[in-house]
Structure 1
Amino acid sequence: MSTSSETETETENEAETEAGNGNEADTEAGAGTSGRGSRLTLRDAALGRPDAAAVSGVDVDVSPGEILTVVGPSGCGKSTLLRTLAGLLPPLAGTAEQDGRPIDGPGADRALVFQEDALLPWRSLRANVELPLAVQGVPRAERRNQATAWLERVGLAAQAGQLPHRVSGGQRQRAQLARALAGRPRAVLMDEPFGALDAQTRAGMQDLLVEVLHGTGATVVFVTHDVDEALFLGDRVALLGAGRLAAVRAVPRPRDRTAHDDPARTALRRDVLTSLGT
């Protein structure tokens, strides 16, 4: 029977082999674009599966470095929009683009973060964070240093050697955030990542996300059911419902905890809730 550490080493070797199969141009391109966000664009896009379109006529342009939050009722197409931008679902009509080029599949410069932490259970938190770096071909010692630094940034230095099931849900989400950002993606696509957390932990994760994104330049599209979360995090908020994109609204004083009672923020919150029928 293989031990946990042996399995982890085997997985690392597999990742190194995968990285070795890539070409140097891809690696150089990835390194050259770090620190700058992507422009993500949907043009007159119909999104969903061939037998079940979820939303149609979507026109949205997410600027490099912007945080766009997306809200709407269950089943309105929020996750479908995110998966289209991730390259997991092609648009049924119209176009999905990254920096003016069609999105035709997943890419290493677009990281996807789910509500479920999706950490590999047999790998330590540090080894999970190392994984995208291994795929990029970063040497083992360097990726260990980078993973350790990211875990320190998200407050998990003491838990670096723990397996995911040994830590709390909030700590697993911190590790997933570190893993997503360790590969220096140009876009981070987040599908209700804090939805399963209690209110206090959720607020802490929102603040942590703002802190760790600072200086990365990454573009973020963040799906949530929580209107207050959307208005705190987003530079703009997109409203989905009834099979269409109803509006995209600028958020007054984003990422400012003291702006909760700002009249402009309060008015926008009321408009969003009215649009959502709540």
Structure 2
Amino acid sequence: MTSSSDVRTRTRTGAGLALRGATLGRPGAPVLHRVDLDISPGEILTVVGPSGCGKSTLLRTLAGLLSPLAGETVQDARPLTGPGADRALIFQEDALLPWRSLRANVELPLAIQGLPRAERRAQAESWLARVGLAEQSRQLPHRVSGGQRQRAQLARALAGSPRAVLMDEPFGALDAQTRAGMQDLLVEVLGGTGATVVFVTHDVDEALFLGDRVALLSSGRLTAVRDVPRPRDRTAHDDPARVALRRDVLTSLSI
């Protein structure tokens, strides 16, 4: 992998996101009620809860794909009224265009921004190298593994220099070893981007490893937001503060 200095990207200040007294869902079918949540610029907020608790709805609301049924969504102290190029979405399904090579997929947001062909190609190749895909850049998505497709999707999302990256269980379909590698990679490649990250997961251990804070959803409510002990250490299973937080999260979620 290349160092962060090899990637020609524009470091930007992360977006400050917030929900104010927000009821979330679709008309006639609310799933979260009276949510108040502030997400600081540049932080990684993980969101955890049981299936069907509204995690993906919260993420899509922050992306501007859904409007709150009551209350408001805010970005940088201004009402958020719809999708924006400064917010990137990453899903569990890799969503790569199957007829485009990995490099061409990563080039796509740069082409939309109007960058010249040579510049966007150089940036795409740099990002692919950073996520360990330099040798696969010309491959079509179906020619590489699921983990490699997720690496390419991460490169594509970050190549456009988003101020917020919204991730909906992106590693849920991966095996345990590949998933751990993607978690480490995510932390590494986010360094220096300045991006705010909201990462939805049903996996408590993943939430506690990745998050600076973890938001707990249960029974139609945001029940708590907890600070996560640092430094980030995958082997710190017996750290008393981490053990206590994990127990607290599991108890709060009743799982």
TM-score clears 0.5: yes
In structure 1, what residue type is equivalent to 2:121? R
Structure 2 equivalent of residue 232 of structure 1: 209
Give the corresponding residue for 1:76.
Answer: 53
Distance 1:45 1:254, change over 3 A: farther
Q: 1:189 is matched with which residue?
A: 166
| CA deviation after TM superposition for structure 1 residue 255, in Å | 2.7
Match 2:234 to one of 243, 254, 257: 257
**Kept after mapping to 2: 8 A contact 1:133/1:183:** yes
1:135 alignment partner, one of 104, 108, 112: 112
Using the TM superposition, give the Cα deviation of residue 35 of structure 1 relative to its aligned residue in structure 2, in angstroms. Answer: 2.0
CA contact (8 A) 2:22 2:36 kept: yes
Deviation track 1:174-227 (CA, whole Å, cap 9, x = no partner) reads 000000000000000000000000000000000000000000010000000100
| Match 2:221 to one of 217, 230, 244 | 244
Instruction: Specify the alignment match of 1:27 in structure 2.
Output: none
Equivalent of residue 37 in structure 1, options 5, 10, 14 = 14
Deviations 1:116-172 (A, max 9, x none): 000000000000000000001111100000000000000000000000000000000
2:115 alignment partner AA? V
2:6 is aligned to none
In structure 2, the residue matched to 1:53 is 30
The residue aligned with 1:14 is none
Aligned residue-pair number: 246
SS in 2 for 1:215: coil
8 Å CA contact 1:82–1:221 kept in 2: the answer is: yes
Matched, 1:161 2:146: no
Query: CA separation in 2, counterparts of 1:253 and 1:259?
Result: 10
Whether the aligned pair in 2 keeps the contact of 1:186 and 1:218 (CA below 8 Å) is yes
Indicate the residue corresponding to 1:7 in structure 2.
none
Matched position secondary structure for 1:245: strand
Residue identity matched to 2:102: L
Q: Which residue of 2 aligns with 1:172?
A: 149
TM-score (norm 1): 0.87
Distance 1:91 1:163 in 2: 38
CA contact (8 A) 2:11 2:192 kept: no
1:115 aligned partner: 92
Are the counterparts in 2 of residues 113 and 191 from structure 1 also a CA contact under 8 Å? yes
- Root mean square deviation of aligned Cα: 0.9
* Structure 2: unaligned runs, 5 residues or longer: 1-9
In the alignment, the residues of structure 2 paired with residue 156 and residue 65 of structure 1 have an alpha-carbon distance, to the nearest angstrom, of 26
Partner Cα distance (2:236, 2:98) in 1? 40
CA contact (8 A) 1:234 1:255 kept: no
2:254, 2:147 → 1: CA distance? 31
Unaligned runs of 5+ in 1: 1-32
1:259 CA displacement: 2.7
What do residues 22-58 of structure 1 show as CA deviations (whole Å, max 9, x unaligned)?
A: xxxxxxxxxxx84210100001100000121010110
Q: Secondary structure at the match of 1:172?
A: helix
One-letter amino acid of the structure 1 residue matched with residue 221 of structure 2: R
Question: 1:101 corresponds to which residue?
Answer: 78
The separation in 1 between residues aligned to 2:134 and 2:83, in whole angstroms, is 30
TM normalised by structure 2 equals 0.95
C-alpha contact 2:53 2:219 (8 A) present in aligned 1: yes
1: CA distance, partners of 2:172 / 2:129: 24
Tell whether the 8 Å contact from 2:26 to 2:69 is kept in structure 1 after alignment: yes
Larger radius of gyration: 1
CA–CA separation in structure 2 for the residues paired with 1:221 and 1:261: 27
Give the fraction of aligned pairs with identical amino acids, expressed as a percent: 83
When you count helix as a share of all residues, which structure comes out higher? 1
Residue 243 of structure 2, aligned match among 266, 269, 278: 266
2:118 is the counterpart of 1:144: no
Runs of 4+ in 1 over 6 A off after TM superposition: none
